[in-house]
Amino acid sequence: AKADGRSTHRFFESQMDSEQRERRLIEADLRGAIARNELVLHYQPLVSATDGLPTGFEALVRWNHPTRGLVPPAEFIAIAEQSDLIVDIGDWTINAACMAAAAWPAHLTVAVNLSARHFRRSDIGRVVQSALGNSGLAPSRLEIEITEGLLIENPDEVIEKLGEIRALGVTIAMDDFGTGYSSLSYLLKFPFDKIKIDRSFVEASTSDPIARDILRAIASMAKTLKLKITAEGVETAEQARFLSEIACHQLQGFYFARPLTPADLPAYLLSTIRP
């Protein structure tokens, strides 16, 4: 039994080692990824709830790794956040998204996800301003999506930085609304322009009448507070119908379109031109 215990211990130890080794490998590869042009943005349409036509796109980062293939953000953003790598990735993302959007028809917006770490470690106001300047994108066409995790530490500093960006004319959206502990208190602390209802509520709305009641309540609160409201993760016609009935402004999800590669964009845009 003693020998068994020891080998179990060794097993866990070596498993931990290999996870750490894997993380370090990813981190080392990631250091050169921007210079090697391996990061790419895919763009998922946000559509108007009234006519289903796109109002803009959310930029979603992927890492085109030479041997691992297309790596989703869940597998490298958290690793990047443990060092200043997240600052380089964030700067690259904002710039690349603004550059891309500047070439789209002028009614279309681009939404960029900001990591809390990037936000805190950089002069984000200047980064946004220079991305807008370099690309020539109108500030009103840029949206910044932040999760409430951002507001937990140093809320005053974060609020000041958000205010700077908002003063440029950029839209600020609270992402994954409803998943945190204090979504409502953050609405009190900072003047968001928009909330994005988390996919978990949309998913539950299909089978759970309470989820539908909560969504109705969120929609009516958003109306009172004059906040725009987007629902993410819309996968069925039924969900889309319900969400537009309760007056969500925008919908996003696989039912309308998956994230598109830059190569897919022109055809999508052509097929969705407003009459």
Contact residues: ligand C2E, CB under 6 A: 44, 60-61, 72-74, 77, 93, 113, 115, 175-176, 232-235, 253-254, 259
CA distance 61 to 71: 9
Min dist CB 62 to ligand C2E, Å, is 7
Identify any residues that bridge with 113 across adjacent strands, giving them in sequence order. Answer: 145
The residue whose Cβ lies closest to ligand C2E is 253
Min dist CB 12 to Ca ion, Å, is 32
Contact, 196 vs 159, CB < 8 A? no
Residue 60 contact, options Ca ion, ligand C2E, none, Cβ 5-8 Å cut-off depending on partner type: ligand C2E
User: With respect to ligand C2E, which residue has the nearer C-beta, 24 or 258?
Assistant: 258
Identify any residues that bridge with 195 across adjacent strands, giving them in sequence order. Answer: 174, 229
Residue 253 contact, options Ca ion, ligand C2E, none, Cβ 5-8 Å cut-off depending on partner type: ligand C2E
Q: Is 176 in the site for Ca ion (CB under 5 A)?
A: yes
Min dist CB 112 to ligand C2E, Å, is 6
Contact, 160 vs 195, CB < 8 A? no
Contact, 177 vs 183, CB < 8 A? yes
Residue 73 contact, options ligand C2E, Ca ion, none, Cβ 5-8 Å cut-off depending on partner type: ligand C2E
CA distance 218 to 178: 9
Half-sphere exposure of 204 (CA within 13 A, CB side): 14
Q: Of the ranges 41-49, 135-143, 172-180, 222-230, which one interacts with Ca ion (CB under 5 A)? A: 172-180
CA distance 252 to 229: 11
CA distance 164 to 170: 9
Using alpha carbons only, give the angle 119, 153, 96 rounded to the nearest 5 degrees: 15
Site track for Ca ion across 103-122, x = CB under 5 A: ----------x---------
User: With respect to Ca ion, which residue has the nearer C-beta, 132 or 197?
Assistant: 197
CA nearest to 231, candidates 196, 203, 257: 196
Residue 77 contact, options ligand C2E, Ca ion, none, Cβ 5-8 Å cut-off depending on partner type: ligand C2E
Min dist CB 27 to ligand C2E, Å, is 16
Q: Is 145 in the site for Ca ion (CB under 5 A)?
A: yes
Per CB under 5 A, residues contacting Ca ion are 113, 145, 175-176, 198-199, 232
